[in-house]
Amino acid sequence: MTGKASRDWRSRGRALAYILPSLLVLALIFLYPLGEAFWISLQRWNLISGVKRWGGLYNYAAIFTDPGFPQVVRVTFVYSTLSVAFEFALGLGLALAVRAGVRRGLPGFALIRVLVLAPLLVAPLLWAFYFRAFYSPQFGLFNAILNGIGLPSVLWVNDADIAIYSLVLADVWQWTPFMFSILLAGLLALPSDVVEAARVDGASGWRILLSIELPMLRPVLLVAILIRTIDSLRYLDLVLVITQGGPGRSTEILNYLAYRTSFQEFQLGRGAALSFVVFALVMVVAGALLRVMWKNANAR
Amino acid sequence: MNDRRNAGAPWSRRDFLSRAALLSGAAVGGSALGGPGRFFAPAIAAEPVTINVLTLGQGIFGDPFVNLSPEFTELTGIKVNNITMGYNESMQKQAAVFAAQGTDLDVVGVDYMFLKGYARAGHLAALDPLIAKDLADYYSDVPANLKEVWSLDGQTYGMATVGNCQNFIYNNGHLADAGLQPPDTWDDVLTSAQKVVSAEKNRYGFVAGTERLTKAVTVWLPMFWANGGEIFDDKMKPIFASDTGVRSLEFLLELMKTMPPGGGAYTESDEIKAMSVGLATLDPASWIPDAIINADAATKPNLKTKVAPMGSARRSPVLGGIGLCVSNYSPSKEAAAQYVAWFNSKKVQVDQIVQAGGQPCRISAWAANADAHPWFPSLAENLKVAKSLPQIAEWGQVDSALSTQLTQAFAGEIKPKDALEAAQAAVDDVMQEAGYY
């Protein structure tokens, strides 16, 4: 080894030794619980009786051979896809409107920009309880409004055909402001010279938006979609508080199934296995989105 | 290499790494050594015993413990740290603490259906060696079914403390308006529910909580049991997908046709509100008296209670109840047992528990407090005939399997026979896996 290479190697080694204690603590906080959870997922463990025995991949096999499992996966994807799609569309629309209003100095838009973020200030679990009350078929706010304007009541979460869409609505209410705030920041950070040049060339507002601004905004869009997709796949509050997976199994998502198995059936092993299935699903989806982002970054 | 730093010069990468390492090493080393507390011996002083008591936070299963614990402390000198939370959270916390053999809890409010599972696993202390005299007095004054429910292999592991079961609340005004008497049998309940429905008066018949979590199964069970059905045979094989089971579920679906819209997934709060504002007429599977307590001025005088409806075999409301147990990992078992005994003593049960917001479990206490609330006499009668849920460690899985299929039947997704057969197959797997047969 040459003198410089040897000194570099010793330097790196010393640096690693200095930060090793912190790395060990991080590994303890992150990797140990993950490892322990995986170990639990290989056990057949009833928390009430305390009976715990080795199951190997038994829990995973039981999950994938459960005839109800495909339905749970389907509901999870429907919930996640619709929530993120609507949040994206509404968030982008609101961001464009607020940007236009702020740029033109229209009165009130600076305040609207803050008010749109209001749902984010309330804890998600509280919103879940509020929406449970709003969705009550006879005593809820939404049906009171509908009846007040002469429309019939809707069985928001009492009808198996529409319950999942009612949960999507509640999710969109809560998380559109998050999408809005990221997209507005991205829009305001776009370089104005390119847009001005297009305007001088006679491009319309729509053409500028579709051909110039949105492509430039793509990295921000992808990050926002990635974060919300990961969150929506892991989300639990609305289902836990409002429907508990019902009516029937129409709103049972993977994360709720994991919760129910662990803490209502007290089957800790199978619940841990379900958590890893959710983890794997999130990693696959996140990985796919990151690949798109990476390709996009390379293309630029 | 000379790495002496000149004042004001920016840090090199080497400087940054070495200083960061020093800081992190100091942090890890300091925490490993236990911090400053390790070097100072704790002051030695005689501390009064403090016990940690886990119960629900509100209502009949929470209020008496929160309200009366200070008096217990005054009388015994034993300090009480009341840990309160909602039902689900309480059940999850105690299961986790027991599994970890934690010493955090001394007295635990245990739902009776988990008692035998916990006792077999060694999580609960037998009370007989700790409070034998109190137990003898207690057993002389409680219904016979409670002794069986709260003991295992001849040893007592808990005391009922707050007695509860399903009660039958009905709106007498609606029934009288339709020319009907309060129904006594399940068939009468259906006939009355069908006759009392009126679109112009915005009035419905039957009401119950039918949501998946804990409600769906306990709405169907009283009808099933009342007609002679059983969930398990002697070998703990599930047998509920019988003709009786299917007929009971079909009967329940007929009753649900008289419910307000959305009845297939009705929450308990909607059930209570429907009765309290006079929207519904018959609630034979009510767990708490909130409909009467919160009723509006026009409805309240009409709300009455009675004993559970009769089926072809018996009256069979579902037994409820969260009793007090002593954790086997408690470092203060004697003090904890004193707490349990005190709350179940005749004096507290007769004179204090009702006034503190609870319900008694002793027969003499029910008699002494018959006038305390209008729903007490029927509740006392129902407690004598109430049937307990199977006290098996696998009940969570059984309930989950059953409620999943029942709610699908409620939603009209599957037929009653298919629902019960699917549930029975799932429960059969659970029981086989658990080693019952």
For B386-420, write each residue's pLDDT tens digit. 999 999 999 999 999 999 999 999 999 999 999 99
* Binary contact (A136, B434; C-beta < 8 A): no
**Integer distance in angstroms from the first to the last C-alpha of chain B?**
76
- The reply to whether A163 touches chain B by the CB within 8 Å rule is yes
Contact between B121 and A48 using a beta-carbon 8 Å cutoff: yes
| pLDDT confidence bin for B8, thresholds 50/70/90 | low
Give yes or no for A260 touching B (CB within 8 A): yes
Instruction: Parse chain B into domains and list their residue ranges.
Output: 50-164+320-385, 167-318+394-433
- Are A18 and B17 inside 8 Å of each other by CB? yes
Residue B360: exposed, middle, or buried by beta-carbon count in 10 A (0-12, 13-18, 19+)?
buried
Q: In what order do the strands lie in the sheet with B167-171?
A: B282-286, B167-171, B303-306
For residues B225, B229, B231, B232, the Cα torsion angle rounded to the nearest 10 degrees is 130
Which of A185-189, B283-287, B417-421 has the least mean pLDDT?
Answer: A185-189
Q: What sign does the dihedral B153-B155-B156-B157 (CA atoms) show?
A: negative
Of A95-104, B4-13, B60-69, B134-143, minimum mean pLDDT range: B4-13
- pLDDT tens digits for range B360-369: 999 999 999 9
DSSP B53: E
* A25 with B28: Cβ contact below 8 A: yes
Specify the CATH number for B167-318+394-433; select among 3.40.50.300, 3.30.70.240, 3.10.20.30, 3.40.190.10.
Answer: 3.40.190.10
Give the pLDDT mean for A208-213: 87
Q: Considering only alpha carbons, which residue of chain B is nearest residue A153? A: B261
CATH assignment of B50-164+320-385, given 3.40.190.10, 3.90.180.10, 3.30.420.40, 3.40.50.300?
3.40.190.10
CA distances from B422 to A73, B252, B416, B418, B435 (A): 20, 18, 10, 6, 20
pLDDT, residue A1, reads 52
Residues 257-316 of B with CB under 8 A from A: 260-267, 269-270, 273-274, 279
Distance from the A276 Cα atom to the nearest Cα atom in chain B, whole angstroms: 20
How many Cα atoms occupy the beta-carbon half-sphere of B432 within 13 Å? 6
In the predicted structure, residue B37 carries a pLDDT above the cut 70: no
Rg (CA), chain B: 27
Q: Determine the distance in angstroms separating the CA of A64 from the nearest CA of chain B, rounded to an integer.
A: 15
B120 touches chain A (CB under 8 A): yes
- Window 171-230 of A, Cβ < 8 Å to B: none
Q: Which residue in chain A has the smallest CA separation from B202?
A: A138
Show residues of chain A in contact with B412, CB under 8 Å. Answer: 160
- ipTM of this complex prediction, to 2 decimal places: 0.85
The structure tokens listed for B371 are: 């006038």
Q: What is the pLDDT of residue B232?
A: 98
pLDDT at A193: 86
Q: What is the pLDDT averaged over residues A149-168?
A: 96
Residue B374 class from Cβ within 10 Å (0-12 exposed, 13-18 middle, 19+ buried)? middle
Going by C-alpha positions, the residue among B390, B324, B399 that lies closest to residue B149 is B390
Q: Tens of pLDDT along B185-210?
A: 999 999 999 999 999 999 999 999 99
Q: What is the CA radius of gyration of chain A?
A: 25
Task: Check pLDDT > 50 for residue A93.
Answer: yes
**Chain A residues within 8 A of B419 when measuring between CB atoms:** none
| Inter-chain CB proximity A248 and B263 less than 8 Å | no
pLDDT of residue A9: 73
Q: Looking at chain B, which residue has its C-alpha nearest residue A160?
A: B411
User: In this predicted structure, what is the pLDDT of residue B1?
Assistant: 40
Query: Which of left, alpha, beta for B279 (phi over 0: left; psi -120 to 50: alpha)?
Result: alpha
Dist CA A79 CA B398 (whole Å): 28
The answer to whether the beta carbons of residues A120 and A178 sit under 8 Å apart is yes
Does B98 touch chain A if contact means CB atoms closer than 8 Å?
yes
Q: Given B20, B95, B411, which is nearest A160 (Cβ)?
A: B411
**Bond prior to B129 in cis (omega within 30° of 0):** no
pLDDT-derived band at B24 (thresholds 50, 70, 90) equals low
Contacts of B118 in chain A (CB under 8 A): 48
Report the range of poorest mean pLDDT among A4-13, B331-340, B421-430.
A4-13
DSSP letter for B279, please: S
Q: What is the mean pLDDT of chain B?
A: 91
The model's confidence at residue B17, banded by pLDDT at 50, 70 and 90, is low
pLDDT in the model for residue B378: 96
Would you list the DSSP string of A78-116?
Answer: HHHHHHHHHHHHHHHHHHHHHHHHHHTT-TTHHHHHHHT
* Span A125-151, average pLDDT: 96
A137 to B270: CB separation less than 8 angstroms, yes or no: yes
Domain positions in chain A: 1-33, 61-299
Q: Which residue of B has its CA nearest to A261?
A: B397
**CB nearest B24 (choices: A22, A50, A137):** A22
Superfamily name with CATH number, domain A61-299: MetI-like (1.10.3720.10)
Q: Quote the CA–CA distance of B388 and B225 in Å, as a whole number.
A: 11
